[in-house]
Structure 1
């Protein structure tokens, strides 16, 4: 990964928050994972290697929204820390960045399976539905990290655990979503791990739809073919009647 270039030479911060965020860029030496530029605006996801020396579970992934005003000679810089890449992408998508523009441009592990792709896609397009309240980052030799979020649209299972696991030998990772009724339930699961991660209802519905579709397909293909009545002559191969049922 290359060091992040915020392209702020000759510009001054437009506000105090931007000035504070800019001062931090000199300390952290961010490394770009993903970047999308639109004119004088940049959407960036970056890795902070210095986070490992900070307090435990300090976010090491950061999203940045950089707006430059060359006419005024100023810039605005807003950022947010995250434990997982999909949540870092979501923050930028919520600020107007196209989702398809945020693919990694640096060498990074790939999703290990289709379910990981689906879970990350749900995160990216969740808008304000999911509010992250706690996380554990993947740092050093760690192979697991997670984010706990509240799903504001689910009253029965509002506490969601997004569990990320690395497979270093394959250079891949998986992300799974578990659904819990309350904080005690998710804490108990993280501590015990004696049962499978409780499946979120969104994926149960998808699985049921796939099973129903497969069953209907098997039923349709196994139906007996209707026989032709003896009094009805068979249509010639090139006759329009022979294709009437399939059109």
Structure 2
């Protein structure tokens, strides 16, 4: 089973009001730890990805994964906390990697969470994790009811004529797996219309037309031993998600 996170704050005081509030909002009994890394030897920095089950009672569609960065001053025994909500663990890991977490440390996850269903999913997860600041998150929506999925609407700085990218994850609870697919759009309005109506297949990015190149990238990711990436459809929420969120949840405290 997934376990509660240990934020390792005993004996430390918050350095500011923001961090004090964040600590008070951390209720480990409602959090499931998916990935973590603490810098050796004394843990001046901690990086975690957790699932916040309290989000099940929040606004419909709000992302339930939280990337958490904790910085401790070992001399003054104070700490600061920063966090951000995400729809997929790959984007949460990317956020932490950009803040100094070693990629190979935060990609290790437990065996009791959903796994990628195919090589394309594995490759897209790695692409997101390693993308740095390439993708600007515009919006996201998470549903634990049919269709069981989460999508992240982004602006791709390397997207050329189709800069708006949709990363759509679908979960299969029977097999314990999920698939990730990427769609490319000319503008946000067209992408949002597709998400609302699903009137046709998800438009593939132009580079997918070069099947050999994509297969080569997938093979490279597989040969690198990329860790299987979990998704959040483990604990079914008690409320029904309905209607798209109008903006992403950025910088939300736990």
1:242 aligns to what?
Answer: none
Q: Which has the higher contact order (CA 8 A, sep 6+)?
A: 2
Matched, 1:76 2:80: yes
1:158 aligns to what?
Answer: 163
- Residues 12 and 75, structure 1, Cα contact 8 Å, conserved in 2: yes
- Selected match of 1:49 from 45, 50, 53: 53
2:236 aligns to what?
Answer: none
Task: Pick closer, same or farther for the CA change 1:2–1:80 going to 2, 3 Å.
Answer: same
Unaligned stretches of 5+ in structure 1? 213-247
Task: Pick closer, same or farther for the CA change 1:91–1:209 going to 2, 3 Å.
Answer: closer
Distance 1:210 1:80 in 2: 31
1:105-124 map, 5 Å = 105=110, 107-124=112-129
Unaligned stretches of 5+ in structure 2? 217-254
Task: Pick closer, same or farther for the CA change 1:195–1:17 going to 2, 3 Å.
Answer: same
- Selected match of 2:144 from 139, 147, 152: 139
Distance 1:211 1:91 in 2: 27
Q: How much does 1:125 deviate?
A: 1.0
* Structure 1 residue runs of 4 or more that deviate by more than 6 Å after TM superposition: none
1:222 aligns to what?
Answer: none
- Selected match of 2:90 from 86, 109, 133: 86
1:20-35 map, 5 Å = 20-26=21-27, 29-35=30-36
Distance 1:210 1:128 in 2: 22
Give the CA RMSD over aligned residues.
Answer: 2.0
* Residue deviations 1:159-217 (CA, integer Å, cap 9, x gap): 11000000111100000000000122112212332321111123333x144799xxxxx
1:5 aligns to what?
Answer: 6
Distance 1:88 1:94 in 2: 10
Higher-Rg structure is 1
2:174 aligns to what?
Answer: 169
Distance 1:202 1:25 in 2: 42
Distance 1:119 1:67 in 2: 30
* Residue deviations 1:32-55 (CA, integer Å, cap 9, x gap): 110111132211000000101111
Greater helix share, structure number: 1
Say how many residue pairs are matched.
211
- Residues 143 and 165, structure 1, Cα contact 8 Å, conserved in 2: yes
After TM superposition, the score normalised by the length of structure 2 is 0.77
